[in-house]
Each structure stands twice: as structure tokens, then as C-alpha cells.
Amino acid sequence: MATPTRSLPVRTQRSGAEIPLRTVVAPAPSDTLTGRIPLSAERPSTPDARFDPSAFAGEVVPFRVRAFREGHDLIGVQLRLTAPDGSESLHRLDAHEDGLDTWGVLVTLLAQGTWSFRFEAFADRYATWRHAAELKIPAGVDVALVREIGARLFDEAAAEKDRPAAERRLLTEQAALLRASGTDADASLAIVHDDRVAAAFTARPLGELWTVGATHDLLVERERAGVGAWYEFFPRSEGARRRADGTIEPGTFRTAADRLPGVAAMGFDVLYLPPIHPIGRTHRKGPNNTLNAGPADPGSPWAIGAPEGGHDAVHPELGSLDDFRAFVSAAASAGIEIALDLALQASPDHPWVTEHPEWFTTLPDGTIAYAENPPKKYQDIYPVNFDNDPAGIRAEVLRIVRHWIAQGVKIFRVDNPHTKPLQFWEWLIRTVRDEAPDVVFLAEAFTRPTPLRGLAQAGFQQSYTYFTWRNSKTELEEFLDSLAHETDDYLRPNLFVNTPDILTEYLQYGGRAAYRIRATIAATAAPTYGVYAGYELFENVARPGSEENIDNEKYEYKLRDWQQAEADGDSLAPYLTLLNRIRREHPALRQLRNLQIQHSDDDAILVYTKHLAGALSESGESDTIIVVVNVDPHSARETTVHLDTAAWGIPAGTPYIVEDLVTGATWTWTDHNYVRLDAFREPAHILHVKGLA
């Protein structure tokens, strides 16, 4: 068969790219569950095997399996990948020195669509011979027999017609040398260690006892499903102004469009809008979630529905549907995608309430149950009861999603998906994906681990996480390592630093240093992160007794002067701009699974690295980033950090040059390095490994 070329939609960690395709015939059915060479713990996978693992186009995916055989003979393992276009490629796996018989290979998947993969194991006759020869020839044990066994292997391989002529000549020559009487032990060992011979048998192994694993599917979605910098604002606040009588003239899609260049200049490529629909008046919430809204209070956008319409309508104060389409178009011209909130709930004034009262829960007193999250009460919101008319609700929600897709929306941020049936989301996302595979759903899943992970398995391309509440070094190490290596086959985190609902104690009391620290970790630890407007202004005053900003924008307009704050040096926007530029320029930061926790001697200095090998990158150049963060916003810390430099190809103890991408400073580092990080000045290093000193 023809040798695969680099036109295949993959990049592999081996410098030789894919190995030549060869057909492997699956063994006849067996009366045992295990194959001749047992294969297990195949990854990528999901905890529930009924769901497929996922990745995004351009993601480096670790393929791993456990494989072993009885005795001391050696085995080989290869990965057979089938791309969405039907093209196949083979990739040889390396044995991990973990004592668990783990084998793995890294492959960059470039094409969107459904891939399939399977592992194939075999008794590696060449590797077994080579290992024996390395031991027996120096010891003078059975040397003649060892040499003849090797020569016969070379003869057999040279006789294969699909081997290149140069390779066949090499093997024939080496077989003759092994049989030659003048070949001494040193010359024999030179043949044993000949990299050209090893490469020939790696590419086209002489295998026996072939075992073919099960075929698995892997869904690869578009890059935005896994990579992006999100910014959230309320369009009604952008361009809003105070009238002479003290009332607020709200912003519109037209005035909000004036903010788009500023968002784009900071480097954000996704703009998330809270619900843009008509807002109910019954039980409308006033400032700070009070029950006494005045006539000028705008209410919560999540109280969706009024006489003007429901989920398919635009709030009249924001403009028309044409205005929204123009806003989407203006955002696209600025390099920004619009993400729209999908909140499946209704205000008491929503048309659903009169047209489909069966979609809600009626209490014994005849009233409709409103939303509660004790002690919080949301009298202005009716939750949907998905069990009363599931077919009708499915049809209506699908109609709404299709409607907004037709307006140019390809990203939906889903509000509280864990309060709706999981099977509903599985159905909706699968149905939409079949029609519009570029659509992305983000789960606002601040919930227990099991439902959070269940939503990801069921199809949500992204998920909020517990990041906002993981603040200490120990918490962050455990949390980030889990994201990168435990749930990475199916859950893609979006590390929002704040939301309209979440202003953590860390931000309330950590001062400006806390804002820099959290943004640094979010932007470098995951390929997708987000910021809610006002973060760059260090808005850190909470409503007493809550984790929400006081004078919360959910219930009122927010007037901000972005330009003046930046001119006064009171804005984090320049630092966010720098972070997003670093993310664009360093592809290692646009990966999740390459994060490796490193060590420091201080309990507040978090250290992690991200490395992307040149063979796996689009440019062909490797990229290594070292992030060192003082997570204590109230102190200056001094410590030593300890790095596994061999992971990016630098032997322990070898000096190399790093550049701090925040300050521009350069240093010579090794695997053990002194750092001092002052939270009040620069709480973090983002270091780029430039090369050997």
C-alpha cells in the first residue's frame, strides 16, 4: 500500500510522521474475552462508554493503552487512525516507564468530524532479538546463534516487497555482516545498535500474535469549541447614559457596537451576551435583588418573556432583530463571535405561561412554582417542567435554537443546565450538531462533579468549573491536574474569572493583585477562559452577605468609563491585552492536556509548564512556557522552583535562557531556580524557554 504523506489530517510526535500503512487481519472470534496480547484501559475514553470522547481541531490528543504478554519477549503497539474523510494512518506507540505497561503516542488531529481509532498489538520479533543480543553478545553467551537469528530476521524483512529498495539493501548487507566470520563482538553490537535498522523495523515491524482492539469513535469539533478568550457584557449598559432628570437612557445594539473595537483590542474573540429578550414586569426585581422595582428599573434579563415576546424576540429597548443581526455582523468584522445566553425559563408574563401552562409546575393552591435556590428566591422566574410535555418542549427549544442560528449565532451559553434533564441536552445537542456541526454549547454547570461531568459527556463542548473557588496552591494543583489529565477526554473547561453571580472572597479582599493573579492563571492554564465586564476595573465590593457585586448589573444599568479608567492607570485592560497576545503567539497555551504541575518550596508559589513539540505544531517549532505565580495576593515570596526540564528536551542541570513575557527580562535557568514574586508589583512570571545558554 502507498506510504501516507503529510497531507493526512494529523501530526504525530515521531519525527518520521506516520508509519507506512499495512493491513492487519483481525483474529478469528475467540472463546475468551482477552486477545492473545491483552489490551485494556484504552484512551481517549469517557467514564460512560455509551458516549464518545471528544477533542477540537488542532488539539494534541494522547492515545494510551495498556498492553502486555506473558514471559520476557517484547511487544509492539500501534494506533490505527481513520480520519473523517476515510484516510488511514498508523502511529507507533512508545512504552511508558510507569510500571503499568502503558503505551502512548501524541497525535495532533487537524480535521473536524468523527474519527475512529483502534490499537493493534503484536509480538515484536526484532525488539525481542535486539534485547537478547544486547545482553548475550557482550557476555559471550550463544553469540553465533544470536547472530544467525538476527540474520534470518533481516533476510525475512528484506524479502518483503513493500519495503523501499534502499531499506532492503541495508538489511541484506547487515545480515551478511552478522554471518561473516570476521565480524567481532563490537561489530556485531554496532549492527544491533544501528538506528537505521531499528527505524526499518519500527516502520514495518515483523510481528506475530497480532491482536486487534475494539474500534472507537472520537468526535473532533471546530477549534472554537476548545480555544477562545471570552468577554461578557450587558448590551443595555454599553452606551447607556444618565439623563438630566437622573434616569438612565439604556444602551442598544447600536451603542453596544461601539464597544466592540475595545473588546477586540484587548484580544477577546468571543463576546457573551446575557439574555437579550423582553423582560417580564410581574415580580420584577429591583436593585440588589429587591422586590420593589420602580418604573425605571430594567429587571433581570433572565426573567424572560413579556407581551412583546419570548425567547425568539429581542427586547425593544435594545433594538430590532435587524439591529441584532447588524451587531453580529459588526462583531464578526472585528474578529469576534457572539455567544448568546440560552436560559430555559420564563417570567410570569412569558407567552408560554398562557399558551402552554402545562410546561410549568402548578402548586396545590393553583399558583405556578417560581424558581428557588434556598435561601435565594426568584419570584420573577418560572422554571420549565420538562416532564409534563417533553415532546412539545423539545420542539419549541429546537425551534428557538434554530432561530438564533439563522441570525448568525453559533455559540450558546446555557444557563443552569444541571437543573434540566440530561437526556434532553443529549438529544438537543446531538440534533443541532447533525444540522450545524459548528455550533458550540457552554454549560454553566456550577454543580456537583457527577452532573457536571455528565453534561460534558452528553455533548456540551465547554463547561464552567470550580475554578473560581480554587485559590490556594494545593487546591489549584489538584484542580488543574485533574482538568488536564483526568477529564480531558471529554470535558473542556472555560475558566471564567468572575461572573455577574460570582465575586469570590479572594477577589473581594485580595486587592488588585488578586485580579492579576486570577487572570494570569485562567489565561495560561486552559485554552479557553472568560472575563465578565468590570473585572478590568477591579470591581470588588460585594452586596453584604453574598458573593455578588453590590449594585449588581443583573438588576440595573451600569455606567462605566473604560477609556478614562485606562487613562488614569486604573484598568487591568492593558494586562488582559498582554495575556491574550501571549496566548496568540504561543501555541503551547492553546492546549490543555500538556499542562504539567511542577514543584516549588513555598506553599504559595504555583508552578506549571506547557510544552508543545515542534513535530506537533503548525509552525514545526517547539514552544515551552513556564508559569510561576504567587497565589498569595498579600505578600512577596522567595523560593526555589524545581523543574523537570527533560520533559522538553533539556537534560537536568543544563542551563537555558528564559524570557519573561510580562516584563521582558531574561535569565539563565536550569532545573532548580530562585524566584522572588512580589504580589504588589508583578505576582507572576510567564517564561518562554528561548534555548540553551
| DSSP result, 112-164 | -EEEEEEEEEEEEHHHHHHHHHHHHHHHTSSHHHHHHHHHHHHHHHHT-TTS-
Q: Choose the weakest-confidence range: 13-22, 103-112, 478-487, 551-560.
A: 13-22
For residues 428 and 327, give the distance between their C-alpha atoms in angstroms, rounded to a whole number: 27
Record the pTM: 0.96
Average pLDDT over residues 224-249: 97
Counting residues of the chain whose pLDDT is more than 90, the rounded percentage is 94
Q: Is the pLDDT of residue 659 over 60?
A: yes
Average pLDDT over residues 258-268: 98
- pLDDT class for 18, splitting at 50, 70, 90? low
Q: Please give the DSSP secondary-structure letter assigned to residue 536.
A: G
Task: Look at residue 14 in the predicted model and tell me its pLDDT.
Answer: 66
Where does 204-290 have alpha helices with state H?
Answer: 253-256, 260-265
For residues 192 and 273, give the distance between their C-alpha atoms in angstroms, rounded to a whole number: 64
Q: Is the pLDDT of residue 7 over 80?
A: no
- Residue 365: strand, helix, or coil: coil
> Cβ distance 383 to 392 under 8 Å?
no
Task: Look at residue 34 in the predicted model and tell me its pLDDT.
Answer: 87
Q: Is the pLDDT of residue 583 over 80?
A: yes
Region for residue 79 given its phi and psi (left: phi exceeds 0; alpha: psi -120 to 50; beta: otherwise): beta
Q: Write out the H or E segment, with its range, that includes residue 201.
A: helix 195-203
- pLDDT class for 376, splitting at 50, 70, 90? confident
- Residue 529: strand, helix, or coil: strand
Counting residues of the chain whose pLDDT is more than 70, the rounded percentage is 98
Task: Look at residue 24 in the predicted model and tell me its pLDDT.
Answer: 84
User: Which of these, 81, 102, 98, 99, lies nearest to 90 by C-alpha position?
Assistant: 81
Q: Is the pLDDT of residue 480 over 70?
A: yes
**Rounded to 5 degrees, what are φ and ψ at 388?**
-75, -40
Q: How confident is the model over 586-608, as pLDDT tens digits? A: 999 999 999 999 999 999 999 99
* Residue 25 or residue 122, greater confidence: 122
Average pLDDT over residues 464-483: 98
User: Any residues with CB less than 8 A from the CB of 59 and at least 6 apart, and which?
Assistant: 108, 109, 220, 226, 591, 592, 593
User: Any residues with CB less than 8 A from the CB of 561 and at least 6 apart, and which?
Assistant: none
- pLDDT class for 558, splitting at 50, 70, 90? very high
Q: Is the pLDDT of residue 91 over 70?
A: yes
- pLDDT class for 2, splitting at 50, 70, 90? very low
Q: How far from chain centre, in Å, is Cα 509?
A: 30
Which residues share a beta bridge with 61?
A: 107
Which residues share a beta bridge with 54?
A: 219
Average pLDDT over residues 332-344: 98
Q: Output the average pLDDT for the chain.
A: 96
Q: How many helices (H) and strands (E) does the chain have?
A: 17, 34
Q: Is the pLDDT of residue 8 over 80?
A: no
Q: First and final CA of the chain: distance in angstroms?
A: 46
User: Which of these, 144, 80, 161, 149, lies nearest to 116 by C-alpha position?
Assistant: 80
Q: Which single residue is written with the C-alpha cell 424572560? A: 304
CA atoms within 13 A on the CB side of 73: 12
Catalytic residue set: 415, 444
Q: Is the pLDDT of residue 521 over 90?
A: yes
Q: Is the pLDDT of residue 539 over 70?
A: yes
For residues 587 and 617, give the distance between their C-alpha atoms in angstroms, rounded to a whole number: 8
* Residue 161 or residue 14, greater confidence: 161
Q: How confident is the model over 102-160, as pLDDT tens digits? A: 999 999 999 999 999 999 999 999 999 999 999 999 999 999 999 999 999 999 999 99
What's at 331, amino acid-wise? A
> Cβ distance 594 to 611 under 8 Å?
yes
Where does 417-551 have alpha helices with state H?
Answer: 422-435, 449-458, 473-485, 505-509, 511-525
Q: Is the pLDDT of residue 17 over 60?
A: no
For residues 464 and 460, give the distance between their C-alpha atoms in angstroms, rounded to a whole number: 11
For residues 339 and 233, give the distance between their C-alpha atoms in angstroms, rounded to a whole number: 11
